[in-house]
Amino acid sequence: MPLASESVRLSPTVSYRQQADIAVLWLDNPPVNGLGDTTRAGIHAGLKRAIEDESVVGIVVAGSGKVFCGGADIRQFNTPAATAWPLSRDVQQLIEASRKPVVAAIHGVALGGGLELALGCHYRVVAHDARLGLPEVNIGLVPGGGGTQRLPRLVGVERALDMIQSGAPVTGKAAVRIGLADAATEGAEETRDAGEVVALAVEFCRQAVISSSAHPLVAAREVQGSSVDFDARLASVSRKSRNAAAQRACILCVKAATQLSFGDGLAFERARFDELVAGSESQSLRHIFFAEREAPKFSDGKGATLRDIHRVAVLGAGTMGVGITMSFVNAGIPVTLVEREQAALDRGMAWIRRNYDVTASKGKLTPAQIEERIALIAPSLEFDALADADLVIEAVFEDMAVKQEIFERLDKVCKPAAILATNTSRLNVDVIAASTQRPGDVIGLHFFSPANVMKLLEVVRGKASSLDVIATCLAIAQRIQKVPVLVGVCEGFVGNRMLTPYWREAGFLLEEGASPQQVDRALSAFGMAMGPLTMADLAGMDINWATRKRLAPTRPAHLRYSRVADRICEKGRFGQKTNGGYYRYEPGSRTPIPDPVIDELIAACAREAGIVRRTISDEEIVERCMLALINEGAHILEAGIAQRASDIDVVYVHGYGFPAWRGGPMFYAETLGLDKVLARIRALRDEHGAHWEPAPFLGRIVSSGARTFDRKN
C-alpha cells in the first residue's frame, strides 16, 4: 500500500493528498470553502485523477479550516464565473459515474451547495456537531444543485420539504438519525477541524470498498410516498414573507420530485433557480445578506484592541431596560439591573420572567434554562452597584437634563475603562458625553423595542468616542446576536431621522385627501410590516410629540407643517396605550378601528391650511413616502452619518419593517434608477415646495453617471 503522498494543488482552492490507498480532496477556499469556479474545477480535476489512478481505491472530499463547505460563492451569481465549466452538476455526474466510493467528510457546516455536493457523494460521514442544511430560501432562491430532488430521496418528502422551505439545518447526530448521513463521530467536544471526521471517513471508505461492489446513488432511489398536501403548503405561504416567491418555488420543486423522473426533476429545479436568481427578490435579499456582514466593519478600528466585557449593568428597568437586560443574559453575560424604587425593580424582574415563561410555553426554553438566565441578573437599588460593570447602558427617560445628571454620576462611580453607553433614540450623544471627564468612553447604543427581540442596534459614534470603545461595542453587539450599524450623531441618528420626512408625507397626504387606513393599506401592500400611522399608534404618539415641541423653535417658518398629529395628541390620544390615536382601539385590543372623529379632525386641519382635498391614489402614497425616505438617506450619506448606503438599508429592514425582498430604501432607489428617482424628487419639489429639495449628493451621483450610491458603475 503506498505511503501518504505530498499535497498537490489542483486549483487555487483545492488540493489533493493520497493517504495510502484513499485520495483526499481538500477544499481550501476561506472562509467557508465556497463552491466558486476554481473550487468546482479543482474538485472535478481531483476526482478524475483519483478515478484514473489504479493505486486509489476510494475518495474522500473534505474541507480545510473550520468547515466542510458553506455553499456556492453567491458573489459570483449573475456573473460569468457562476456558469463556468464545470458546474456542480458536472461534478455530481462524475461522482455518480465513479465505481470507486466517494465519501463526504463533513465538519463545521455543509450548507446549500456544500450539502448538495455531499448529497451527490455515495456516503456522508459527519462530525457529531456539524450542521447540514439547504438555506437558499433565505436569499430568495431554491437549491440549484439537485437538493430538492436528492434530499427527499434520503429523508422523505415531508422532512425534506420542512428543511428546504424553512432553510433550517440539522446537526450531524440528527443527520444520521434521519438517514441524511451514514456515520458520525462520537463525543460532546466541539469539532475544531476536519482531522477526526476525515480519519473516520477514510476508514469508512475502505470498509465500503470491501463490503460493496456497487455503491449507492441517491439519484437512483425511489421517492417514498407522502401525504403532504402541496396545495395547502402553497396557500400557507404569507405574501408578506421576505422570501415568499422562493418558498413557493421550493414547494413546487419538492412536488416535482414526487411526480417527475430524477432528470426531469433536476431540469425543473434548475429552471426555477434561474428564474429566481435573475429576479429582484433574490437580488434584494442577497444585497441585505452582504450588507448585514459589511455593517460591523469600520476601517478606523482595524486592529483596535477590544476591551474585556465580563459584566454589564443596565440602568432602568422599564421596557427598554428589561429588553436590553434579556439580550445580554440570553448570551450568558451577567447583568446588574439598577432602579431607583423597589416597585419598579420588582415590576421589571416580573416582566423578564413573564417574557421567559411565554418563550417556554412555545417549547423554546426549559424551566431550568429560565432559572439559569434569571440567576445571571443581579437586581439592585444602589447606584454604586454599577461600579464593577465593564459596560453600563443607561435606559431611562428621554430627557437631556436627566441623562446629563446620570452621566455625571456614572463618571464618578464607574471604574476606569468602563464603557458608558446611552440608549437614547434621538438626543445628542456628544452633549451627554460632555457631562463626564471621560468622553472617549461614552457611546450611544440605540436598541430597538422590544430589545430582546429586535435584531438592529445603532452604535452611535460620538466625536470623542475612542476607537477601541467603538470596536468593542460592535463586537459585543454581534456576541448578543444583534446586527450592529455604526452611525454618527445627529437628531434621530439614521432610523428616526428618516422617519421624520416619512411621517411628514403621511401627514400631508391625510390633509390632501387620503384616509389613515388608505395610507397604511397602500404602504402595507408595498411590503412594509405596518403602515406609518399604525406604527405611530404602536410606538406611542406622545414621544414624537415631545420631540416636535422640542424642535419647534428651529422649524423654518416658510415650510409647510401638518398639525394633524399634534391635534390628535392634544386630545390625549397617544395611540394604543390610550385606546386612541390615528385609530381607536377596544380595551385590550391592538386592532385599529377607523374613527370618524379623526376623519373630521383631518378635514378641519386641511381647511385651516387652505388645502382643497382631492382623490389620492395608492401609487402616489407609496411614491411620496418612499422618495422621502430615499432623499433623506442621501442627505445622511452626504453628512457622513452612515458609512455606506447599505448600512441604511440594514437599519430600515431590521428596525423599521422595510421589506427585505426590496433590499432597503437605498437599494430600492437603485433598482428604480437613480436618475429617475432624482427626476421625480425634482418634480415633487416643483409641485410641493422646498421640503422636496433634492439632496446634493444624489444630484452629484446622477451627474457622474453612477448607478449606485457607492458610485460604482
Q: Which of 421, 424, 432 is nearest to 391 (CA)?
A: 421
Rounded Cα gap, residues 344 and 357, in angstroms: 20
C-alpha angle with apex 559: 554 to 561, nearest 5 degrees?
A: 85
Beta-bridge mates of residue 14: 11, 27
Rounded Cα gap, residues 312 and 203, in angstroms: 49
| CB of 414 closer than 8 Å to CB of 394 | no
Q: Residue 549 is placed in which grid cell?
A: 415641541
What is the length of the chain?
713
Residues 6+ away with beta carbon under 8 Å from 115: 69, 71, 132, 133, 134, 147
Q: What are the catalytic residues?
A: 116, 136
- The pairing of beta strand 456-460 with beta strand 442-447: antiparallel
Neighbours of 673 (CB within 10 A): 12
Cis geometry, peptide bond prior to residue 450 (ω within 30 degrees of 0): yes
Q: Residue 399 is placed in which grid cell?
A: 430627557
Beta-bridge mates of residue 380: 338
Q: Is the Cα torsion angle 469, 474, 480, 483 positive or negative in sign?
A: positive
Q: Which of 408, 414, 420 is nearest to 444 (CA)?
A: 420
Rounded Cα gap, residues 674 and 44, in angstroms: 43
Q: Could you say which DSSP state residue 98 is in? A: -
Distances (CA, A) of 625 to 131, 426, 520, 697: 42, 21, 11, 20
Residues 6+ away with beta carbon under 8 Å from 397: none
- DSSP count for the chain of H helices, then E strands: 28, 18
Reduce the DSSP state of residue 11 to 3 states and report it. Answer: strand
Q: Which of 334, 338, 306, 318 is nearest to 419 (CA)?
A: 306
Rounded Cα gap, residues 326 and 344, in angstroms: 16
- DSSP string for 634-661: HHHHHHTSBS-HHHHHHHHHHHS---GG
**Which residue in the block uniquely carries the three cell numbers 429592514?**
653
Longest CA–CA span in the chain (Å) reads 95
Q: Which of 432, 443, 362 is nearest to 402 (CA)?
A: 432
CA-only gyration radius of the chain, Å: 29
Q: Residue 190 is placed in which grid cell?
A: 466541539
Rounded Cα gap, residues 564 and 513, in angstroms: 13
φ and ψ at residue 670, rounded to 5 degrees: -65, -35
Q: Could you say which DSSP state residue 240 is in? A: T
Beta-bridge mates of residue 486: 459
Q: Residue 391 is placed in which grid cell?
A: 459596560
φ and ψ at residue 120, rounded to 5 degrees: -75, -15
Rounded Cα gap, residues 338 and 381, in angstroms: 6
